[in-house]
Amino acid sequence: MLFEYQTTRDDKHPKNFLRGFEEYLCTDGYGGYNDMHGVINICCFAHARRKFDEVLKALPKMDKNKPCAAQEGLGYCNFSTLTPFFRINLEILNQIEQFSIFSTIV
C-alpha cells in the first residue's frame, strides 16, 4: 500500500507519480486515475459500499424498507468474510500467496 500527498486534486499528480506503472490499481474512484495507459482501475469495496449507503439514505421514507438493488449491493459490500465479494477476494489473495505471483510489494 502506498500513499502520496498532493496539495491539489489535479489529475497530473497521479499521472506523474504512476508514470511507468502498468498493473491493477485499487482506488477510491477519483477521476484523476482515468485514462492512464496500462493501468486497470479497480475500485475499493469501502467506497462502493458508501455509494449504496448514500442511495438508501436518499430514498423516500415510504421506500426505505422495500427491497431494492441498492440494498442488495450494500449486502455484497458489507465487511464480512461471509459476503460474496469479500469471500472471493480472500480466495484470490490465498491463491496469490500459494503461487507467489507477487514477489515484491512496494
Encode pLDDT of 12-51 as tens digits: 999 999 999 988 888 887 888 888 888 888 877 778 888 8
DSSP state letter for 32:
G
Please check whether residues 36 and 52 belong to one and the same domain.
no
Same-domain pairing of 57 and 30: no
Considering the domain architecture, whether residues 51 and 81 belong to the same structural domain is answered as: yes
The model's pTM is 0.54
50 lies in the same domain as 38: no
Position 71 pLDDT exceeds 70:
yes
Whether 52 and 39 map to the same domain: the answer is no
Q: In terms of domains, do 38 and 68 share one?
A: no
- Which residue range(s) make up the domain with 10? 1-43
Same domain (yes/no): 31, 62: no
The DSSP call for residue 8 is S
Beta strands in the chain (DSSP E): 24-27, 40-43
What total of structural domains would you count in the chain? 2
Q: What pLDDT is attached to residue 64?
A: 87
For residue 24, what are the β-bridge partners?
40
| pLDDT band at 106; cut points 50, 70, 90 | very low
